[in-house]
Structure 1
């Protein structure tokens, strides 16, 4: 009995000491040349990692990998369109629980740099803005327009409730908070930046605030009184000279985005940068006492419909891949790469005396699952909801639809050949006549018309349009509506009287499947189940499929597209179950595909001929 009582007292004391340790506040301040943590010089060696791009069940494991590489800090954005997907409806649960992400980082001995600006870029849908902002009358993002600031304030106040208590000056581990994001590349309105600062303070972010801009735009995006962090340069002399010129001749010096590699978009080779090219630069920066944030340390995967796109008006439209591997030190599945090991060796040189790094965790188990046969399917016509009717095509935003697909349907007299033209198509269209595919149009290729031959009689003309991701950077943020955003004509005669069917593919439970033979060359949804006697990471091999999306056990794994460079979809062990698992594939171009294989390695650099 005494032994049990002693154990109880010991446990109570341990819990009290943990509570005291977790509630103890620290100070984090700026000196003329360095950051000061509790009054002592502190060099941030940080790595960017975004909570929605990693399964929540794997957050802790990724943070252990960060510690083992020598990082002392994690950087993350906060994503408005995840947390307020519909106006006034907030979600901080599950994989959106950013506060839990920050708390786990603290438990793993990591500080956090928080980037909760409403705009994030991040190769993310609409740069993080929720689609519904475009339905607000006169609203202009990244401006002093009143309705935008009203929605901005509502959002940042909710974020503050979640995260302001976790700042270092309140006993948490958030060292600094960034206002806006690379605003200097978009504008130079200092009054707008000051409003940002005031809103952040109102939301409870009362610690250190800073700005972050590419070096050429830092003068536009900096704000007097706030530390100006710089992106994209790593020459210590240039970094210090730029910061000094913007910050009254003082530091500290922080490279907020240091790029050891880059992201991918569809139809272009996988971007890789040899680690050897950056080892010396990392050593030089750390030797100069400059703090750094690697973008990315671990990219992960942009799942669901959250991939963004780039467009500058004079360049092709560039929708980004689901894999956000980024050629980062930690690969898409969270395993150490040669780049990780080389960077780790550099960081070890700059640790305080007698400090050693934890051992690098072993690579995660990986497996190839048995091939999956698909015999049940649902066709486009079987999935259509009630239509919305309009004389002219309506955009996704008009239909109050965020992501996915919209089917546009009208009737046209057949027995003719001619040119079908779709003005301002955004972004990818499959054209069907009486349910049979007769062509595709791709915004990447500046395609807006094609010659078609219509069968005789009255023809049902269908145009299935896919939103490939709203633009996430630059002035075209302000022109980001999706679907058919102009008129449709056949031989220069405008087609009218449209039905629109929304297909967001957010709830798959209402899809009904058949086991009948293939009846169409149009889009199809297929389902199957498979069994595994163990769970481990795997990569679904989509090389014999065309274009679409995959769900496993209800988790949307993202897009695949045969044009490459990404040819596999990463399926994390955390989302598999021992025994029976369910899989659903939306296939747009190759409905005849019946078999799916998996691999033990990703294929991220294979461009179709």
Structure 2
């Protein structure tokens, strides 16, 4: 997907691409490196260079990014005397080793700008200023050590440190956030914004975060109005947390982030188009903005006019930060109106060319189509086979199998080294029914931070519990009867992404911490914390590679009696790749929780049964006023993630293998393979602007459902005519657009001929079907 994504980014007006370097995927095990496939960051930077763009390399190696463990490998935590991100010699030595490896790989390929390459900035550490005070003097010494290390590489490009308010001399402090217009760096450095948050990430059980195109453009324009030199979006394309890369815990597999390019690589319209128009204008004024002298005129009521002048050229920004009131005022003999919470840009200080609140871009209504729902292929149902996952319990030969055995409870990170979400804690308990306390039902109490817990007694499931509402520590309680003699107690602890943010987050324990105890009659207690425990990492089916085509364990799949709503089941089917090149998704509504693979590629964790609550959505979504992650939410009462991205690059034309491990219980009969495409395209344009409209995936514009030039009302899907309209509006748009993949309409009297009615400003509204 890299070339297509980078091409769309360039077409959207970008001229640089930032990327993190993720330590835990490049060195998943100590000194075992992986830079293959989509981990080949050198190739990624080469593709950026091929498209004529700059690159910004954020090495970290702490990245946060809602990424598992913040990008750190868990083996690092398991080293003796280790503390992350502080004046700790063990940590600093390992960080230096990895950072040096990355620097030398880049230098060898001549990718720094000083060598003629595209990399113009590098970063070491990440948002350390947010937590540094927690580390005291050791934190100050550590960040100075980071600066010295960065300078020692002599790469010939500047080093940045985001959110580092007192960055050491030589480092450029940069801003991250929703708004950075009032940020000013120290040491007289250039004003840079490394992360303009285009939306927000999604948790399991959360609603859909949305940030309007108007507000995002307002933030960008304000930043450059007040002297900004570099602004980067986080995210411009968010993508997908494939495999086990999502952190949190409980961060979803989707990382759409309401970015200008959506999770699947589609244009998120109107955000992409509205920003494209802004980028094009800003870059046309680059010389004046970066070299000119600026001056501000305060008009009161949060209205500011900023002008730049350089070699006779002038640029003006009219910024109205009032959340409710439009501003009408005189400037140099002319009268202007700036809507509330918007910025107007006048590249000659006379003619308004762009206003952040006036969107002149397509709005795409995306639809999902069932595989086969086209003229060339009949829809078909998936045919499933299945097999059960084995429940583990203590066996006499576990030591011979190499299972870890220990008298006590261990941190799950230590046991698994983060090679799996699943760790079995197994022990045996002797019960004497001659003792009255153990003849009847007993209560098991387990204190855990494993996120999810499944409990089995003598090979039978006796209960499960998942953490909810951000409380990752919980107590599991259940009652059962135990047999006389030896009883096998198996606890399956399941993590759902390791913590990725906060001071000392590396010290956070995961798994079954204890106490674990049995409570019998007369409140007699058997404490099991110091019992002999046997630990097994992963599920039997994952270990056998049941998700792969060529595993030797492919026998014993059953066709008959397909189970539904049963936990610990493997499901398998095959499907043909949808025709065309629209993105492919799995609709997993009806499944519980688990993992999905296509052709052996881990699509990620799925959990469509986790629904958002019914309250808190904002269907009106006023763009005016400061944005936060709880503003403009949608998806109340819906599955927090129903659709799961399947990259086309992993698909064959026919015979694609889909395997699901279902942990909680669901119905695979409801699973569908679908494509995502533009169903209808709408657009508004103010007079004097051009409106670009397009379908995608080779589809053509099949119908013009609405077209009006004058004063049309309503919004996409609910347009209606106003009292003023050019009579040939529909015919002009039909002639320009029908039967084409894209069209451009000039919203002007010249195009639509005079309407005969007099209104101050006319506009164009169109709705097309693809």
Which interval holds the TM-score relative to the shorter structure? Answer: 0.7 to 0.9
Is structure 2 residue 276 aligned with structure 1 residue 344?
yes
Unpaired segments of 5 or more residues in structure 1?
1-57, 310-317, 603-609
Q: Is the 8 A contact 2:449 2:509 kept in 1?
A: no
Q: 1:245-260, aligned counterparts within 5 Å?
A: 246-247=186-187, 250-260=188-198
CA distance in 2, matches of 1:84, 1:60: 26
Question: Which consecutive residues of structure 2, in runs of 5 or more, have no partner in the other structure?
Answer: 134-138, 288-360, 372-379, 432-437, 520-524, 546-550, 611-638, 678-770
Give the helix-richer structure, 1 or 2.
1
Out of 545, 554, 557, the residue aligned to residue 603 of structure 2 is 557
1:368 maps onto 2:443 in alignment = no
User: Pick from 453, 456, 462: which aligns with 1:432?
Assistant: 456
Q: Which residue of 2 aligns with 1:23?
A: none
| Residue 442 of structure 1: how far off its partner (Å) | 2.3
- Aligned 8 A contact 2:24 2:74 in 1: yes
1:443 matches 2:464: no
Change (3 A) 1:79 1:420: same
State the secondary structure of the residue aligned to 1:532.
Answer: coil
SS class of match (1:265): coil
Distance in 2 between the 1:175 and 1:527 partners?
A: 47
Secondary structure of 1:297's aligned partner: coil
| C-alpha distance 415-199 of structure 1, shift in aligned 2 (>3 A) | farther
* CA drift at 1:128: 0.4
Contact 1:378-1:514 within 8 A present in 2 as well: no
Q: What's the offset of the Cα at 1:254?
A: 0.4
| Residue 500 (structure 1) aligned with residue 540 (structure 2) | no
Cα distance in 2 between the residues matched to 1:203 and 1:395? 37
Pairing of 1:135-146 with structure 2 (within 5 A): 135-146=78-89
The alpha-carbon deviation at position 535 of structure 1 amounts to: 6.1
Matches of 1:83 and 1:451, distance apart in 2: 42
Contact 2:393-2:490 at 8 Å conserved across structures: no
1:255 positional shift? 0.9
Tell me the equivalent position of 2:172: 227
Q: Relative contact order (C-alpha < 8 Å, sep 6+): which is higher?
A: 1
CA contact (8 A) 1:275 1:339 kept: yes
TM-score (norm 1): 0.79
**Structure 2 length-normalised TM:** 0.63
Q: Which residue number in structure 2 is paired with residue 303 of structure 1?
A: 242
Contact 2:423 2:537 (C-alpha < 8 Å) held by counterparts? yes
Aligned length: 521
Q: Secondary structure of 2:106's partner?
A: helix
> Any idea what SS the aligned residue of 2:267 has?
coil
1:186 aligns with 2:196: no
Task: Please report how far the alpha carbon of residue 425 of structure 1 lies from its aligned counterpart in structure 2 after TM superposition.
Answer: 2.3
Q: Report the alpha carbon displacement of residue 223 of structure 1 after superposing the two structures with TM.
A: 1.7
Q: In structure 2, how many angstroms separate the alpha carbons of the residues matched to 1:530 and 1:255?
A: 45
5 Å-filtered alignment, 1:197-216, equals: 197-203=147-153, 205-213=155-163
Does the 8 Å CA contact 1:436/1:521 hold for their aligned counterparts?
no
Match of 1:298, SS state, is coil
Distance change >3 Å, CA 601–CA 462, structure 1 → 2:
farther
Pair member with larger Rg: 2
Q: Is the 8 A contact 1:377 1:513 kept in 2?
A: no
Describe how 1:107-122 pairs up with structure 2 within 5 A.
107-122=50-65
Q: Tell me which of 657, 664, 673 is aligned to 1:589.
A: 664
Q: Distance in 1 between matches of 2:162 and 2:514?
A: 37
* Aligned equivalents of 2:535, 2:212: Cα separation in 1: 48
* Matched residue, 1:380: 390
CA contact (8 A) 2:366 2:676 kept: no
Q: CA 1:535/1:429 → structure 2, altered by over 3 Å: closer, same or farther?
A: farther
- Seen in structure 2, the aligned counterparts of structure 1 residues 532 and 180 have a Cα distance that, compared at 3 Å, is closer
SS at match of 1:390: strand
| CA deviations over 1:25-84 (Å, ceiling 9, x no partner) | xxxxxxxxxxxxxxxxxxxxxxxxxxxxxxxxx101000010011000111110000111
Match of 1:397 in 2: 413
Residues 425-470 of structure 1: per-residue CA shift (max 9 Å, x gap): 2221112234433222223444222222236455432221112111
